[in-house]
């Protein structure tokens, strides 16, 4: 199998998937109110595509950690992006009716990176575990955190075999959700979870391990600006309907 997707291409693909997902969140309540169409099938399809974004971003964070020459600088940039994105993400939560309960995905990505960096500074296993659990606990307030995002990022970075790294990582990324389903003997959401995992494994099977073009700044600008733009679009549309 020819591996044709580099790290930069993965990030661009994840950005596109995230944009599709966020367009669904912003647009379909409007379409429903106007009785344009019944959006359920299309909205669900867009959300399934969108669920690819977080595992790909988490995988890229782990790859960045493994290959970065200056992890502390990488952490500072990601932490700053998480802070800057709080207001645009909260605004989108307000205009879509999702509320302010969760925070943006970058918070989880940042805490996953922190778990890797600070646990590697320790020699005692119990301290490593404590740091990882602390980062996971802090990430519960953020999108992707409650399902086990920090555990997934850590697994993506630490599992050595490239095949098991992807399988183990994407399972760890959803470990809390899997445990809840197993504990409750429930199948609710299992099909969507399986679809997300399989889609991630399919896409990353074409990953060649190369860095690709330097598009780091594209993501740092894209994430908060697309949230802001979609939120302003919805506000303008609602004002137009008044």
* Residue 69 clears pLDDT 60, i.e. is over it: yes
What is the CB-side half-sphere exposure of residue 43 using CA atoms within 13 A? 13
33 against 218, higher pLDDT: 218
Neighbour count for residue 143 (Cβ, 10 Å): 21
Name the maximum alpha-carbon separation found in the chain.
61
> How far apart are the C-alpha atoms of 179 and 181, rounded to whole Å?
5
* 193 in Cβ contact with 177 (< 8 Å): yes
The reported pTM is 0.90
* Residue 152 clears pLDDT 70, i.e. is over it: yes
* Residue 203 clears pLDDT 90, i.e. is over it: yes
| pLDDT score at 78 | 96
Q: How far is CA 42 from CA 34, 49, 164, in A?
A: 16, 11, 33
Residue with tokens 């969108």: 50
* 174 in Cβ contact with 152 (< 8 Å): yes
Q: What are phi and psi of 166, to 5 degrees?
A: -70, -45
Q: What are phi and psi of 103, to 5 degrees?
A: -110, 180
What is the CB-side half-sphere exposure of residue 108 using CA atoms within 13 A? 24
* 233 in Cβ contact with 32 (< 8 Å): no
165 against 189, higher pLDDT: 165
How does DSSP assign 11-72, residue by residue?
HHHHHHHHHHHHHHHHHHHHHHHTTS---HHHHHHHHHHHTTHHHHHHHHHHHHHHH-S-HH
| pLDDT score at 71 | 94
| pLDDT score at 101 | 60
């Amino acid at each position: 199998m020819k591996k044709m997707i580099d790290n930069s291409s993965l990030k661009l693909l994840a950005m596109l998937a995230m944009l599709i997902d966020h367009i669904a969140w912003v647009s379909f309540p409007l379409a429903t109110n106007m009785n344009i169409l019944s959006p359920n099938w299309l909205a669900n399809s867009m959300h399934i595509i969108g669920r690819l974004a977080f595992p790909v971003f988490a995988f890229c964070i782990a790859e960045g950690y493994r290959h970065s020459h200056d992890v502390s600088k990488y952490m500072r940039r990601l932490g700053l992006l998480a802070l800057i994105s709080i207001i645009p993400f909260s605004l989108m939560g307000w205009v879509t009716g999702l509320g302010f309960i969760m925070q943006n995905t970058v918070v989880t990505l940042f805490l996953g990176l922190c778990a890797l960096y600070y646990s590697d500074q320790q020699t005692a296993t119990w301290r490593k575990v404590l740091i990882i659990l602390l980062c996971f606990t802090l990430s519960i307030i953020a999108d992707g955190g409650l399902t086990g995002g920090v555990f997934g990022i850590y697994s993506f970075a630490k599992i050595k075999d490239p095949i098991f790294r992807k399988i183990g990582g994407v399972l760890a990324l959803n470990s809390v959700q899997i445990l809840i389903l197993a504990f409750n003997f429930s199948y609710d959401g299992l099909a969507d979870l399986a679809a997300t995992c399989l889609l991630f494994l399919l896409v990353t099977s074409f990953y060649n391990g190369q860095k690709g073009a330097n598009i780091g700044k594209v993501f740092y600008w894209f994430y908060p600006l697309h949230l802001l733009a979609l939120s302003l679009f919805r506000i303008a549309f609602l004002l137009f309907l008044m």
